[in-house]
Amino acid sequence: MTEDTSSYSEHLISTEGISHVQLFGLNDENLRLLDQAFPETRFNARGERVKLNGPDTQIAQARLIIKGMVEVAIRGNDVREGDVKTLIRLNGKAPKAITVDSITGKGDVILYTHRGEPVRAKTSGQVQMVKSSEKHDILFAIGPAGTGKTYTSVALAVKALKERKVQKIILARPAVEAGETLGFLPGDLREKIDPYLRPLYDALEDMLDQEKLNLNLQKNTIEIAPLAYMRGRTLNNAFVILDEAQNATNTQMKMFLTRIGFNSRAIITGDITQTDLPRKHESGLISIQRILQDIEGIDFIYLNDGDVVRHKLVKDIINAYDKYVLEEHSPMNGKRNSSKKSND
């Protein structure tokens, strides 16, 4: 009996002008994601084209996803694992054609750097941040390291300042030691604190040329300060960011949130799995989820390992730590520990 292959077909997609690594990642990581999503389809990427062989239904879906990947690459971005996963997920929900706007929303470029490079939301979690910040005065962005929480927040703040929606940007961080001692560091108080604020400077230096940044810092149009310096202030007409908020206590979190004045917006970012507070202090970022969850005008966005935009090993490290924490706190682990003690 001859096998019926009428429902199978072959299709070619041009990738002219796009490097193989930019589109498919190191060691063809993105191709492997496509193989997993469409197990009956074969993907053959050679030269400046991709050949697809498989069932018509899978071919139709895979074509949309690859075209979306090509569009991301054409706009100057490396296609990351999170992009591919988002395209696959959106395709499963919506049969209509997928474009990069399906991932990042209309007007996906947040702003252009002083070098003319676009800064855009690159993952579904970052897209949610951008959209939510347009609708809510206070936004909490919670997720692991490497998910672009700080960078996206600073980009939104700079955009608001450039569009004159706010008159100043205020960036704050708790000055909490990550297992280190602040006192032994050389220099005056500012020199001791600056290393804690360095990631905020790094993000700003990407978006503004040094001369403009220095001028804005001198005029206090952009202010970077430890969280403790916010006490007693009222922040009107400002875009306020509290970064590393997992290291803010409940008292500090309440203090910060009650500084928000008229025509101001705030984004609070942090990773609740990496608090450096002493054990006796609960992280204000953990408790705030229970306290403010039902208040209109406040939103919580949760990013995950799929939003990681750093080295691919960062996601593996996050997953390994999550697995370790689960195993350490599992009931079986408790029984093992008890059994060990009884045998000692």
Please write the tens of the pLDDT for every residue from 280-338: 788 999 999 999 988 999 999 998 877 776 666 766 776 787 677 666 655 555 544 54
Q: How many domains does the chain have?
A: 2
Helix (H) or strand (E) holding 313: helix 312-328
Domain closes at, from 104, 137, 166: 104
Whether residues 192 and 295 fall in one domain: yes
Domain closes at, from 86, 104, 122: 104
pTM over 0.75: no
Whether residues 142 and 41 fall in one domain: no
**Which range has the worst mean pLDDT, 88-92, 131-135, 137-141?**
88-92
Mean pLDDT on 217-231: 90
Q: Which two tokens stand for residue 103?
A: 């991932």
Q: How far apart are CA 156 and CA 199, in angstroms?
A: 16
pLDDT at 91: 64
For strands 118-120 and 168-173, give the pairing.
unpaired
Percent of the chain past pLDDT 90, that is, above it, reads 33
Check which CATH number belongs to the domain holding 64 and give it: 3.30.1370.10
**Residue 206 structural domain:** 110-327
Mean pLDDT on 265-269: 96
Q: Is 72 helix (H, G, I), strand (E, B) or coil?
A: helix
Q: How far apart are CA 24 and CA 47, in angstroms?
A: 12
Residues β-bridged to residue 171: 224, 241
CA distances from 19 to 75, 104, 267, 328 (A): 13, 22, 36, 44
Instruction: Give me the phi and psi of 68, to 5 degrees please.
Output: -65, -40
Could you report the per-residue pLDDT of 34-88, keeping only the tens digit for each? 999 899 999 988 888 889 999 888 888 888 888 888 877 776 677 888 778 878 8
Helix and strand numbers (H, E) in the chain are 13, 11
Could you report the per-residue pLDDT of 105-114, keeping only the tens digit for each? 434 678 888 7
Whether residues 142 and 91 fall in one domain: no
Q: How far apart are CA 273 and CA 75, in angstroms?
A: 34
The yes-or-no verdict on residue 270 having pLDDT over 60 is: yes
Whether residues 248 and 293 fall in one domain: yes
Please report whether residue 333 resides in a domain. no
Q: Which residue has the higher pLDDT, 100 or 135?
A: 135
Residues 6+ away with beta carbon under 8 Å from 134: none
Check which CATH number belongs to the domain holding 183 and give it: 3.40.50.300
Please report whether residue 344 resides in a domain. no
Q: How many CB atoms lie within 10 A of CB 340?
A: 9
Could you report the per-residue pLDDT of 150-191, keeping only the tens digit for each? 999 999 999 999 999 999 999 998 876 443 344 545 555 556
Q: How far apart are CA 158 and CA 150, in angstroms?
A: 12
